[in-house]
Structure 1
């Protein structure tokens, strides 16, 4: 039997407070300002473990950004489709992420834009 290759990917979710994640998990228990979830996804012969981090836009935890964002493989920027302000703030979230995470190739770092309805 062929062995599956496993890859760990760290995904950060950012956006204005109240828009990113109201129900990330049925048993949400933030310990230091972030919700943390793992999800396994299989694609062909590869198994991906997604480590998903969500600070729920709590600005008081932005000082911990370096620790949260370090080693991220992708950043999901979330906004509320009913709030132009949450959309307008996405560039601030992106820029802050790039400053805090210091990716090796910031021009090509993968960002995903996700609009949701609250």
Structure 2
């Protein structure tokens, strides 16, 4: 029987806080401080455990995030496509993450940019131009 290798990947999700007003009231649970979920995946001969950490975007909990950034393997920067301010603050989230997590090589640390709530009508129309700029600036996926 072949021995499986086990890998743990810690993914941090950052972005301005948002709420879902009267949309998913019974299913939605606001994050207070930080929360995480694990998901196991089989990739080739490797068992990969994803730890996906959601840190609350509220300023009053932002200082708690520092402890959760350490040891991260990837950072997902999330913005609401309908709220320009959430897009405008991505630079701050990116820089704060690098400052607090202190990865070995900040230039090659993997970041993913994720536009959320695209299913809601009225999404940003100028988003694509600004998206290209921020992706180039920080070498984001």
TM-score (norm 1): 0.85
Find the aligned partners of 1:79 and 1:29 in 2 and give their Cα distance.
Answer: 16
Match of 1:55 in 2: 55
Report which structure shows greater RCO (CA 8 Å, sep ≥6): 1
SS at match of 1:17: coil
Provide the C-alpha distance between the structure 1 equivalents of 2:7 and 2:45, rounded to a whole number of angstroms.
11
Q: Which structure: greater strand fraction?
A: 1
Quote the offset at 1:56 in angstroms.
2.9
Distance 1:113 1:99 in 2: 18
Uncovered stretches (5+) of structure 2, i.e. residues with no partner: 121-141
Q: Which moved more, 1:87-96 or 1:59-68?
A: 59-68
Give 1:33's aligned residue.
33
The reply to whether residue 68 of structure 1 matches residue 107 of structure 2 is no
By how many angstroms is 1:84 displaced?
1.4
Structure 1 residue ranges (4+ consecutive) displaced by more than 2 angstroms after TM superposition: 26-30
Provide structure 1 residue ranges, at least 5 long, that are not aligned to the other structure. Answer: none
Corresponding residue for 1:44?
Answer: 44
Structure 1 equivalent of residue 103 of structure 2: 103
- 1:18·1:56 contact (CA, 8 Å) conserved in 2? no
Determine which structure has more spread, i.e. the larger CA radius of gyration: 2
Aligned to 1:89: 89
* Length-normalised TM-score, structure 2: 0.72
Q: Tell whether 2:110 aligns with 1:116.
A: no
**Alignment root-mean-square deviation, CA:** 2.1
The alpha carbon displacement at 1:65 in A equals 2.6
Structure-2 change in CA distance of 1:52 and 1:29 (3 Å) = same
